[in-house]
Amino acid sequence: MGRGRQKAKATKQARDIKYYSPNTDYTALQRELGATERRASSRYTESPVEPDYSAYEDKYADKFSEDDDEVDTRRIG
């Protein structure tokens, strides 16, 4: 095949792909999307449980007090 015929064939194939519109079964699509929606919404109905950090609060309370607003001006090096 020459370059002209090859390019024409490629253009025809690209045009066929671009304007191809298959028959869509909208009822099947609605069933599929509805099933996914119901499954996902029932899965996340409860709010996530936040971990309890109260044990760590007392452990490090003496190292980091709320009154430490002063900036450390020491130079290192």
Residue with tokens 């002209």: 4
**Total number of residues shown for the chain:** 77
Amino acid type, 46:
E
pTM here?
0.29
pLDDT tens per residue across span 18-38:
998 888 888 988 888 886 555
Question: Is the Cα torsion angle 73, 60, 47, 32 positive or negative in sign?
Answer: positive
pLDDT tens per residue across span 41-75:
556 667 778 888 777 777 667 776 666 556 666 77
Extents of the domains making up the chain: 1-41
Kindly compute the dihedral angle of the four CA atoms of residues 28, 34, 35, 39, in this order, to the nearest 10 degrees.
160
CA distance 12 to 18: 10
